[in-house]
């Protein structure tokens, strides 16, 4: 219940945020993550089998502090879910890192993850609340421009 309440509060904050000023690294991140698809693979536990991973990012925007609003379509395990999700982003120098801890994703479950974005690629670790998890990696590709 607390996780769902936290998600609701974060989403409300992200959706009602005032105009924020972006530094150059944040501007590059916002531009590089608009109208893109993250396509790659993930592992489950210690198994060596790679499973396909796909996330469509329509756009991102900084809400306030380290909170960013991601408008995404998560395509995972046969599901295709369109959501606006508040995502904490921390910075390792000029490199953005998703930092989720026990974070409820509507329709998907509760996850902890650290995902780094750099030079057209992403890489990270993930864990579900039920104890399973693994690694993830892939490329970030621009989508065709939306039709008018």
Q: Give 72-128 pLDDT, tens digit per residue.
A: 987 667 777 788 999 999 999 999 999 999 999 877 789 999 999 999 999 999 999
Tell me the mean pLDDT in the region 141-148: 88
CA distances from 14 to 52, 63, 105 (A): 30, 5, 15
Closest CA to 39 of 23, 57, 60, 20: 57
In a domain, 147, yes or no: no
In a domain, 121, yes or no: yes
**Beta-bridge mates of residue 57:** 36, 72
In a domain, 148, yes or no: no
The per-residue pLDDT for 100 is 95
Query: What burial class does residue 146 get, using C-beta atoms within 10 Å of its C-beta: 0-12 exposed, 13-18 middle, 19+ buried?
Result: exposed
Number of domains, the chain: 1
Tell me the mean pLDDT in the region 3-26: 62
Range of the domain at 57: 2-142
The rounded distance, in Å, linking the Cα atoms of 81 and 99 is 21
In a domain, 31, yes or no: yes
CB 89 within 8 A of CB 96: yes
Q: Which one has a higher pLDDT value, 8 or 32?
A: 32
In a domain, 40, yes or no: yes
What is the CATH number for 113?
Answer: 2.40.128
Could you tell me the pTM of the whole model? 0.81
In a domain, 124, yes or no: yes
The per-residue pLDDT for 19 is 75
The rounded distance, in Å, linking the Cα atoms of 136 and 141 is 16
In a domain, 122, yes or no: yes
CB 3 within 8 A of CB 21: no
- At residue 109, φ and ψ (nearest 5 deg) are 125, -165
């Amino acid at each position: 219940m607390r996780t769902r309440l936290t998600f609701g509060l974060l989403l409300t904050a992200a959706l009602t945020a005032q105009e924020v000023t972006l530094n150059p690294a944040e501007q590059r991140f916002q531009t590089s993550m608009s109208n893109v698809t993250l396509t790659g693979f993930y592992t489950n536990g210690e198994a060596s089998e790679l499973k396909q991973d796909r996330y469509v990012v329509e756009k991102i925007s900084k809400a306030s502090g380290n909170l960013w609003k991601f408008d995404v379509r998560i395509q995972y395990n046969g599901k295709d879910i369109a959501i606006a999700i508040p995502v904490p982003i921390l910075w390792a120098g000029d490199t953005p890192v998703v930092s989720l801890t026990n974070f409820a994703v509507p329709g998907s479950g509760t996850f902890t993850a650290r995902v780094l974005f750099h030079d057209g690629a992403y890489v990270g670790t993930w864990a579900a609340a039920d104890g399973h998890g693994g690694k993830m990696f892939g490329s970030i590709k621009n989508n065709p421009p939306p039709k008018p």
